[in-house]
Chains A and B, each alone.
Chain A
Amino acid sequence: MDILVYLIPVSLVLGLLGLVGFLWALRSRQYEDLEGAAARILFDDDPRKETPK
């Protein structure tokens, strides 16, 4: 049972990390365009331009 002393904190910390990640993603609006992101990842051509010529 001593193993619980390690396992429970570890699982809690991992869970909290996931929660913080989720809240961060929510705050930075990564859930605003789910469909667009799903389609965009499949286009493998490079962006034509990022900086002005």
Chain B
Amino acid sequence: MSLVGRTRPVVPNAISAAACAHCGARLAPGQVRFCCSGCEGAHGLVAGLGLDAFYRRQETEAGTLRPETAALALDLAPFVAAERDGVQRLDLVVSGLTCGACVWLVEQALALEADVLSARASLATRRLSVTWRGDAGRANDLVRLLARLGFRAAPWSPACLRATEDAEGRALARALGIAGFGAMNIMLISVAVWVGGDMGPSLRHGLHWLAAMIGLPVVLVAGMPFYASAWAALRAGRPSMDMAVSLGVLATAAMSLSETIRNGPYTWFDGATMLLALLLAGRVFDRAARRRARQSVAELLALQEGLVTRLLANGRSEAVPAEAIAAGDRVLVAAGERLRLDGSSKAATLLDAAATTGESVPRAFAAGDALPAGAVNMGAAFTMVVSAAAKDGSLAAMARLLERAEQAKGRFVAIADRASRLYVPVVHAVAAATFALWWGVLDAPWQVALVNAVCVLLITCPCALALAVPAVQVVAVGALFRRGVLVTSATALERLATADHAVLDKTGTLTEGRPVLLPEGQDDAVLARAAGLARASRHPLAQSLARACPDAPLAEGVHEVAGQGLEAGDARLGSPGFVGLPPSSDGMTLAFRDGDRAPVLFRFADRMRDDAPAAVASLAALGLPAELLSGDGEGAVAALAWQAGIAEWRAGADPVAKQARIAALMAQGRHPLMVGDGINDAAALAAAHVSASPAGATDLAQTAADLVLQRDGLAMLPATVRIARRAQAVARQNIGFSVGYNVLAVPLAVAGVVTPLVAAVVMASSSIIVVLNALRAGKD
């Protein structure tokens, strides 16, 4: 039963008094064992199934498993595939699946259902395949069971498929396998030739033929990724490192073949295949790290991608993808559902537009108001008349803004390509000149001239330079990944290293994006009664009130007055106006009146992340002074800026204003780092020199950002800047080293004094030096 070798549980084995017994989140004062009723239910469910072993094995991030109280928004039955004999199969993408124990819990909990035939979860792809016998509608029960355990599930979508069906990655791995096989076997033969001093020429000739028979196909097959990319670069008319690699490898192989045919003393098949193997290994690792990053973005997209319930003229409803809805259609928006389209409603509605506008409190919309896509329905279900199809709506407009900004960023060129722009033509010119010199001027036979020219290519053989930057990238991206920072763009680290200004969003970035009750000496009994009412609502303020007093039982007979508040008997909880008080200016207030007693006000604040001031200070120390850019009102922004130690702030900024501010900074020659989480930040994120999103960010923001901070908070941001800068420094050292090495070695090769043995030793040692140096890039 024990989990050998796992010594780093994020959730302590013996659940301490301060952490929730199910999800491991920190408990608020007054909470016992569980952080919310959902976790309490989940814990009971796990124990009831006899699966408590889960808690001894679990090593998930604290808080990820907190079950949502909202009902299942999506009917999964249409996604079920019927197999033979009445067996149903459903593929899901599951969030919260972060450790082996989660895989075990999910599989075991599903397998305990009587009709479930098999359940198989994949930790790497977050994919769950479940089969059962019976009705397709059972899918909803099974997903609800997962939701009660704290796992959110969505149908496995084409977006996930694109991210995980990594045909190119498999091709690279196959090429690596072949190159590795070739390199090792040819090396074996080469060593025999090198050390076999008493070897006769005929035996050596035979061994060379053997090496050629292994080496030629390996060079042709395993080098394909490089040849293809070099060919593409050649046709586009730009130099690339792959061209240097391809030419070096092919010329080496051709030369070795010619040496073999005329029974010369040396062949270089070992060098060619070893170089391919090393470079392919780097690509495979790099790709694996980026694939993880892309995948977590795709996972988010899948969870949020959804169907829309269209109401038909005959009163029936059907679930269709949002793209199929046209302007004028009527759709049903369930409680808690995200609006996928713009529209208007005949009823008053309460929407949480935090993702699109950055407002931290839900806003009441009157009947007929334009409702923005991207907002979440916090009130009762309503019917919406769609005003624009998905492709013409406000979300699409935002996406176009994003696209334009991204194109502007696409012109940034990676350091390796900048280096190769000079390097590739120079080296090829030197090789050509060497051939001309020996053949034309010194009148040597053409074979000798060619050997010397190839020796130039060999010794400069982009080994060191080709490995210089990718090796650093792989090490730095891997180190960041272990610290919970996903790097989604190949040039992100370079751009981050040069950032000199930080622009931070407020809600969800500097703050937790979740209001908390301000302790102002409320009467416990009153608080408990109010929390009992609040428990019935999805409004964020009500939910924070319920969280502040988790033991309060749900009050009886609560009903919701849309856009106003809650009523149970003669007790009322809601906006100040609802209980007969003057309305409050900042929206972060709930009023409660119990019968004839004096009304009580509960005030809330969106709490700043604990690590925010420290992160802001460290960024400033690194030369990135911070600036606050928020869609919220002036008062809240100024207060938070002061609290976080930020001197410069701007309030009331809409997406266009945010992007404009970034553009203004860029025009001044600054290199801004933008950190944001909302749909409203996406365009600014894409426009900025470099950008980051916290873990809870919206899908659009995560897609636009170069870095995704997987763990809560900003604490990793300064460390990421330091790693990026260190990686840049190491990459520059590596390039400097390989250029210096070439300057020394090329004259020797041109002069024809380099024997292949010397070339091989020098080449290998230069590569090793570069790789060893790259290992330093991961240190903070």
Query: Interface of A with B (CB < 8 Å)?
Result: 1, 4, 8, 11-12, 15-16, 18-19, 22-23, 26, 31-36, 38-40, 42-45, 47-53
Contacts and interface: CB of A to CB of B under 8 A. Distances in A.
B122 A45 contact: no
A1 B174 CA distance: 34
Given A43-B100, A48-B111, A32 B122 contact: yes
Contact of B124 (A34, A42, A44, A50): A34
B108 A48 contact: yes
Given A36-B100, A36-B103, A36-B124, 15 more contacts: A1-B199, A8-B189, A8-B210, A11-B188, A32-B122, A33-B124, A36-B121, A36-B122, A38-B100, A39-B101, A42-B100, A44-B1, A45-B53, A48-B108, A50-B118
Contacts of B118: 50
12 contacts: A15-B185, A16-B181, A22-B177, A32-B124, A36-B122, A38-B100, A39-B104, A40-B104, A42-B5, A43-B104, A51-B117, A52-B133
A26 B114 CA distance: 35
Given A36-B124, A40-B100, A15 B111 contact: no
Kindly name the residue among A1, A43, A47, A50 whose own CB sees the greatest number of chain B CB atoms within 10 A.
A43
Given A16-B181, A18-B181, A47-B111, A40 B210 contact: no
Interface in B1-59: 1, 3-6, 53, 57
Contacts of B312: none
A19 B189 contact: no
B99 interface: yes
B648 interface: no
A28 to B, nearest CB: 11
Contacts of A48: 108, 111-112
B170 interface: yes
Given A52-B115, A52-B133, A39 B188 contact: no
A40 to B, nearest CB: 6
Interface residues of B, number: 42
B571 interface: no
B181 A39 contact: no
Contacts of B184: 15
A33 B111 contact: no
B203 interface: yes
B608 to A, nearest CB: 34
B125 interface: yes
B123 interface: yes
A18 B145 CA distance: 44
Contact of B177 (A1, A19, A47, A52): A19
Contacts of B173: 26, 31
Contacts of A42: 3-6, 100
B170 to A, nearest CB: 6
Nearest to A12: B185
Nearest to B166: A32
A22 B199 CA distance: 35
A35 B102 CA distance: 12
B277 to A, nearest CB: 12
Nearest to A38: B100
B777 to A, nearest CB: 24
Nearest to B132: A52
B482 to A, nearest CB: 13
A31 B427 CA distance: 39
A41 to B, nearest CB: 9
B192 interface: yes
B203 to A, nearest CB: 6
A39 B100 contact: yes
Kindly name the residue among A11, A23, A48 whose own CB sees the greatest number of chain B CB atoms within 10 A.
A48
A50 B131 CA distance: 11
Contacts of B164: 32
A8 B115 CA distance: 57
B123 A35 contact: yes
Contacts of A19: 177-178, 181
A7 to B, nearest CB: 9
Contacts of A49: 111-112, 116
Contacts of A1: 199, 203
Contacts of B3: 42
Contacts of B174: 23, 26
B775 to A, nearest CB: 22
A49 B115 CA distance: 11
B123 A39 contact: yes
Interface string B189-204: 1001000000100010
B116 to A, nearest CB: 8
Interface string B631-670: 0000000000000000000000000000000000000000
Contacts of A8: 189, 210
A3 B96 CA distance: 58
Nearest to B185: A15
Nearest to B176: A22
B225 to A, nearest CB: 15
A33 B210 contact: no
B368 to A, nearest CB: 51
Interface in B234-292: none
A7 B4 CA distance: 41
Contacts of B133: 52
Nearest to B123: A36
A21 to B, nearest CB: 9
* 8 tightest Cβ-Cβ pairs between the two chains A and B: A39-B100, A36-B123, A33-B122, A33-B124, A19-B181, A22-B177, A35-B123, A48-B111
B192 A4 contact: yes
A23 B188 CA distance: 22
B189 A35 contact: no
Nearest to B122: A33
B125 A32 contact: yes
B124 A35 contact: yes
A23 B177 contact: yes
Given A8-B210, A19-B177, A22-B177, A33 B114 contact: no
Nearest to A36: B123
B123 A26 contact: no
Given A36-B121, A40-B103, A43-B100, A26 B181 contact: no
A49 B104 CA distance: 13
Given A22-B177, A45-B1, A47-B111, A39 B99 contact: yes
Nearest to A37: B123
Contacts of A34: 124
Interface string B87-117: 0000000000001110110001001101111
Contacts of A52: 115, 117, 133
Contacts of B214: 12
A13 to B, nearest CB: 11
Contacts of A45: 1, 53
A2 to B, nearest CB: 10
Contacts of A23: 174, 177
Contacts of A51: 117
Contacts of A15: 181, 184-185
Contacts of A12: 185, 214
